[in-house]
Amino acid sequence: MDSTPNNGKLLFDVGGTFLKAVIADGNGRFVPDTEYSVPMPSDGPREEIEQALIAAVERGMRSAADRGGSDARESPSPGLSTSDSAFR
Protein backbone atom coordinates (compact mmCIF):
# COMPACT_ATOMS: atom_id res chain seq x y z
CA MET A 1 0.00 0.00 0.00
CA ASP A 2 1.21 3.51 -0.71
CA SER A 3 2.82 4.69 2.53
CA THR A 4 1.52 8.26 2.26
CA PRO A 5 -0.82 8.79 5.23
CA ASN A 6 -4.54 8.73 4.43
CA ASN A 7 -3.87 7.80 0.81
CA GLY A 8 -5.80 4.52 0.81
CA LYS A 9 -9.53 4.06 0.43
CA LEU A 10 -12.00 1.66 1.99
CA LEU A 11 -14.49 0.66 -0.72
CA PHE A 12 -17.94 -0.84 -0.05
CA ASP A 13 -20.51 -2.78 -2.03
CA VAL A 14 -23.65 -2.71 0.10
CA GLY A 15 -26.14 -5.38 -0.84
CA GLY A 16 -29.27 -6.80 0.72
CA THR A 17 -27.57 -9.89 2.16
CA PHE A 18 -23.91 -8.93 2.58
CA LEU A 19 -21.73 -5.84 2.68
CA LYS A 20 -18.48 -6.48 0.80
CA ALA A 21 -15.41 -4.32 1.32
CA VAL A 22 -11.84 -4.01 0.11
CA ILE A 23 -8.96 -1.58 0.66
CA ALA A 24 -7.60 0.22 -2.41
CA ASP A 25 -4.22 1.95 -2.48
CA GLY A 26 -3.67 5.57 -3.50
CA ASN A 27 -3.62 4.50 -7.16
CA GLY A 28 -6.99 2.74 -6.92
CA ARG A 29 -5.58 -0.80 -7.00
CA PHE A 30 -7.05 -3.35 -4.59
CA VAL A 31 -4.63 -4.27 -1.81
CA PRO A 32 -4.14 -8.06 -1.80
CA ASP A 33 -5.85 -10.03 0.99
CA THR A 34 -7.97 -7.10 2.21
CA GLU A 35 -11.36 -8.12 0.80
CA TYR A 36 -13.99 -9.18 3.33
CA SER A 37 -17.75 -9.33 3.79
CA VAL A 38 -20.14 -8.97 6.70
CA PRO A 39 -23.80 -10.00 6.91
CA MET A 40 -26.22 -7.19 6.05
CA PRO A 41 -29.51 -7.53 7.96
CA SER A 42 -31.47 -5.57 5.36
CA ASP A 43 -34.79 -6.85 6.65
CA GLY A 44 -33.89 -6.02 10.25
CA PRO A 45 -34.47 -2.83 12.20
CA ARG A 46 -32.56 0.30 11.30
CA GLU A 47 -30.25 -0.03 14.30
CA GLU A 48 -29.04 -3.47 13.14
CA ILE A 49 -28.28 -2.12 9.67
CA GLU A 50 -26.37 0.84 11.12
CA GLN A 51 -24.38 -1.45 13.42
CA ALA A 52 -23.44 -3.71 10.49
CA LEU A 53 -22.14 -0.68 8.58
CA ILE A 54 -20.17 0.57 11.58
CA ALA A 55 -18.68 -2.90 12.17
CA ALA A 56 -17.56 -3.05 8.53
CA VAL A 57 -15.87 0.36 8.76
CA GLU A 58 -14.14 -0.54 12.02
CA ARG A 59 -12.88 -3.82 10.52
CA GLY A 60 -11.51 -1.93 7.51
CA MET A 61 -9.80 0.64 9.74
CA ARG A 62 -8.13 -2.13 11.75
CA SER A 63 -7.03 -3.88 8.56
CA ALA A 64 -5.50 -0.67 7.19
CA ALA A 65 -3.69 -0.01 10.49
CA ASP A 66 -2.36 -3.58 10.53
CA ARG A 67 -0.92 -3.00 7.04
CA GLY A 68 0.82 0.24 7.92
CA GLY A 69 -1.96 2.66 7.03
CA SER A 70 -3.31 5.31 9.34
CA ASP A 71 -3.35 4.30 12.97
CA ALA A 72 -6.99 3.42 13.68
CA ARG A 73 -6.53 4.39 17.33
CA GLU A 74 -5.78 7.96 16.29
CA SER A 75 -8.41 8.18 13.56
CA PRO A 76 -11.84 9.63 14.22
CA SER A 77 -14.43 7.06 15.10
CA PRO A 78 -16.57 6.02 12.16
CA GLY A 79 -19.80 7.90 11.70
CA LEU A 80 -22.93 7.31 9.72
CA SER A 81 -25.17 10.08 8.48
CA THR A 82 -28.75 9.35 7.61
CA SER A 83 -31.59 11.56 6.51
CA ASP A 84 -32.76 12.24 10.04
CA SER A 85 -29.78 11.60 12.29
CA ALA A 86 -26.02 11.60 12.56
CA PHE A 87 -23.96 9.87 15.19
CA ARG A 88 -20.43 8.72 15.99
Q: Residue type at 87?
A: F
Phi/psi for 61 (5° steps) reads -65, -40
**Cα dihedral value 85, 78, 53, 10, nearest 10:** 130
| Total-model pTM | 0.65
User: What is the band of 87 on the pLDDT scale with cuts at 50, 70, 90?
Assistant: very low
Q: pLDDT tens across 25-61, in order?
A: 888 889 899 999 999 998 999 999 999 989 999 998 8
pLDDT at 88 over 80: no
Give percent of the chain with pLDDT exceeding 90. Answer: 19
User: What is the band of 64 on the pLDDT scale with cuts at 50, 70, 90?
Assistant: confident
